[in-house]
Amino acid sequence: MLFWSVVLTLGVCAVSHTSGTLSGKKTEPVVVRTPEDRFSDLARLGYPWEPKYAYQNVYEELPPLRVHYIDEGPHDAPETLLLLHGTPAWSFLYRSMIPAFLKAGYRVVAVDNIGFGRSDKLTNPDLYTHELHVKTVTGLVRALDLKGVTLVAQDLGGPTGLGAVARDPWRYRRLALLNTWLPQGDILSSTSNILQHIPYLSWRTVTSVLGRHVPVKTVFTVASDAPKSAVHKGYEAPFPSALYKAGPAKWPLIIPLSTDDPVAVENQRVAAALKEWEGPVLIAYSDREVFTVPGRKLFENLFPYACTSTISEAGHFLQEDQGPAVASLILTFMKDGCH
């Protein structure tokens, strides 16, 4: 019932937000950067860390794009946690978990993918690709020369992060996979698969209608227990207008529906590479998750020795709903494995 309330709510928003077109579309800038004053309340909202930036050449015809990340804790720490978000979130999502990681003595790097958070935003949805997101993470990890990394990935941060792991497996020590998946392109392959993926397919339809008018506040209202207006302001901060929302408009649509989709082929390659992974793995889903649960079977097949957990009283954005508990789970996993 909750899921269908989500779809209905967002569908109503879709109708109300798409009655017109963006003015001046033909003269839109290719890249926009969120004004800094949009982030003025972050410290008060529990996200006080100094922004850091890297520049990446992602398209030859464009100048380097600015990628935001935070990098806290001792750089000589024996291990680093790499925190990856999905859509329409950004590193703000991890604000209640980062203090626990820092207190434990770890280095913490949290990235904003291009199109999200404080990173630059392409205004054309077609410029957002799976390869763009994987290259962003891979490039930053290499630029910072991170080693001994524990990947913490949720939502579409999962396929992005696992793609990066497959390219540089020696840099990673552990995988913590939270409410995520690695779509192989078989969603429409059978009636059973279609039925399992109805929540995602419904969200895909809504996203297609919404386009750059995706209501970020509504997404977090219905997919998490984050009712406070101040928290919503934090999630909405990167997006002053629809012009800035091409990333959230496109990322859910990148998930492949057929096995010959280039993203499916890449994810199949990554899955094959992960069969050789010998490091510790944590697979955790929240008790109210509906979108990524079908991906659990693949992970359990790839990592039959993985630690598994269910996060109680949490929706899709479990970092928002149960951040301290999730952080504690990950710290215990890093220290003691499945004990």
Q: What is the pLDDT of residue 86?
A: 96
Q: How many whole angstroms from its chain centre is CA 86? A: 2
Sign of CA dihedral 159, 117, 107, 171: positive
Q: Output the average pLDDT for the chain.
A: 91
Architecture per CATH, 50-336: 3-Layer(aba) Sandwich (3.40)
Work out the average pLDDT over 105-123. 98
Highest-confidence range of 125-134, 206-215, 329-338, by mean pLDDT?
A: 125-134
CA nearest to 280, candidates 157, 151, 160: 151
Give per-residue pLDDT as tens, 26-79.
688 999 999 999 999 999 999 999 999 999 998 888 999 999 999 999 999 989
Residue 230: the pLDDT is: 77
| pLDDT over 50 at 290, yes or no | yes
Rounded distance between C-alpha atoms, residue 113 and residue 46, angstroms: 20
Whether the pLDDT of residue 4 is over 60: the answer is: no
More confident residue, 201 or 12: 201
Q: Is beta strand 281-286 parallel, antiparallel or unpaired with respect to 121-122?
A: unpaired
Q: Backbone dihedral region of 115: left (phi > 0), alpha (psi from -120 to 50 degrees) or beta?
A: left
The closest alpha carbon to 23, from 215, 267, 242, belongs to: 242
Q: What are phi and psi of 330, to 5 degrees?
A: -65, -40
* Structure confidence at residue 20 as a pLDDT band (50, 70, 90): very low
Q: Region 77-94: what's the mean pLDDT?
A: 96
Q: What is the mean pLDDT of residues 195-209?
A: 93
* Spatial distance between the Cα atoms of 129 and 39, rounded to a whole number of angstroms: 26
Region label for 113, one of left (φ > 0), alpha (ψ between -120 and 50) or beta (otherwise): beta
Q: 219 pLDDT band (50/70/90 cuts)?
A: confident
Domain ranges of the chain: 50-336
| Residues 206-218: tens digit of each pLDDT | 999 999 998 888 8
- Please enumerate in sequence order all residues whose Cβ is within 8 A of that of 278, keeping only pairs 6 or more positions apart, or say none: none
Using CB atoms within 10 A of its CB, is residue 148 exposed (0-12), middle (13-18) or buried (19+)? middle
Amino acid at residue number 177? L
